[in-house]
Amino acid sequence: MHWLALRLVPGVGAVTYRKLVERFGSPRGVFEATGAALRGADLRESVVAAITGFAGWAEAARQEALLAGRDIGLLSLWQEGYPERLAAIFDPPPLLFLRGALASADRLAVAVVGTRAASYYGRSVCERLAGDLAARGVTIVSGLARGIDAVAHRAALEAGGRTIAVAACGLDVSYPAENKQLAEQVAAQGAIISELPPGTQPDRSHFPARNRIISGLALGVVVVEAGSRSGALITARCALEQGREVFAVPGSVQAPGSAGPHRLIRQGAKLVERAEDILEEVYPWGSCPRVDEQAAGFNLSGASADEVAVCRTLEAGPLHVDELATRCDLDLGALAQVLLELELKGAIRQLPGRLFARAS
């Protein structure tokens, strides 16, 4: 309950929440700290008073009961399984509410976003790009909104790939209502996440914060169609601030939905016509296999020397990543690339505790 309670404290946002937990060891430790100790954490006096006089325990208990009753998981920034890439941004959500499941394959993720008022051209291009990426093992991230977001999620599902939706409301709230069935499909074949607790209704202020999570999960953001004031451009800006790649699909100079992508291209975003334009930037160390190729198994005869070394080393049993790096004489950066490629090819699998094993 303390995890939920701390996010209810007025003045405690994502950055302050993280600072407090890391200083006091846990949310319980924050609430048990003295006023003097809290002042030593450079908090405003109003925040110190809000913590020491916290009166929101009933609301925290109500939210905890909602999680249990509606099959919604809770994942903290300090738990195994929290997305590593998202954890590295300036203001990662300290808590993620979750339906479905996150997976190690989601490390190879691309966000596809755009306007709610998508044209036939935008829908067809989005469907092709997202479907081709998903068929090659790329997880598609988007915001579950009508228009381009919904097309991207559906294309990933139809390609047999994974997709993650980031909601701007509680996970028990159907928004937009027309995407309720799509949301169920996403949860079954990927995950829906939110930093907002159950019962939270959509609000205009929630969307910019949601967009930083979309970009934070991904290696890059693709803007398919967007007007000059579209929220998709906020996602692109978040991506730039987080050091992610930004891609844009060109369109007709007469179409309103081309204004956003064309502006991004003028500012240096990479022009995208096909999935390969994206893959060569986010997956530059090899050919990303299609899902149907992964199912056929992994043949060592066509593998690189490092892939062979890793696979043969793991034949004796699971190993921690540090031990694997030592035995294969690879630095952790190079090993991470080899492990990601082998996972995508179905040759190995990751176990809890940063252990890796040969796939059965």
Closest CA to 304 of 324, 260, 267, 334: 334
Average pLDDT over residues 159-177: 94
- Please say if the pLDDT value at position 291 is more than 80: no
Average pLDDT over residues 134-141: 92
Contact in structure between 221 and 242 (CB atoms under 8 Å): no
- Please say if the pLDDT value at position 261 is more than 70: yes
Average pLDDT over residues 141-162: 95
Predicted local distance difference test score (pLDDT) of residue 110: 96
Predicted local distance difference test score (pLDDT) of residue 292: 43
Average pLDDT over residues 296-303: 63
pLDDT digits (tens, 9 = 90+) for 14-45: 999 999 999 999 999 999 999 999 999 989 99
In order of their start, the domains of the chain are 1-69 (no CATH), 100-282 (3.40.50.450), 297-358 (1.10.10.10)
Contact in structure between 325 and 310 (CB atoms under 8 Å): no
- Please say if the pLDDT value at position 288 is more than 80: no
Give the CA dihedral 329, 357, 297, 278, nearest 10 degrees: -70
The pairing of strands 163-166 and 220-223 is unpaired
- Please say if the pLDDT value at position 297 is more than 60: no
pLDDT digits (tens, 9 = 90+) for 76-90: 999 999 999 999 999
Average pLDDT over residues 234-255: 94
